[in-house]
Amino acid sequence: MSEIFAPEGYKVARKDLPVREIGPYRAQWAEWAGHAMAFETVPKGFPPGGDKAFEGLPDNLCQCPHWGYLIKGKALLRLADGEEITLEEGDLYYCPPGHQLYAIEDFENIEFNPAAEARMTMERFKANIEG
């Protein structure tokens, strides 16, 4: 995830975004004006290793807030206090700092994140999954 696509101008076509992979996770990311935007494809059972994928992040939780839309599939959002929220196809969602996200089914989404936090989180996630 170290190579970030930074488009010029005011739009970019999905087909022009490079594909990034972390294990079976696939994403097409772009960074603009301090934000990271992504099309993500996440397989059921992701992340591999479950909670271990979050190790090394503060409190072993993702601290990057995410705003998104679940195009298809189903995911589980677990908050720091233990509350669990099921995200389903067609849902808009917000993941606050201090969460974990799991694929209950294969899912596809579009997500918006603060770029610096997203980069740091994805680098740690990648190291945990591929390491």
Instruction: Give all domains of the chain, ordered by start, each with its CATH number.
Output: 14-130 (2.60.120.10)
pLDDT of 98-107, one tens digit each? 999 999 999 9
Tokens encoding 128: 């945990």
Q: 54-64 burial, b for 16+ CB within 10 Å, e for fewer?
A: beebeeebbbb
Torsion of CA 120, 3, 66, 95, to 10 degrees: -50
Distance of CA 57 to the CA centre of its chain: 14
Place of tokens 């929220």: 85
pLDDT of 89-124, one tens digit each? 999 999 999 999 999 999 999 999 999 999 999 999
CA distance to 11, 52, 99, 110, per residue, from 127 (Å)? 31, 11, 18, 23
Predicted TM-score (pTM) of this structure: 0.89
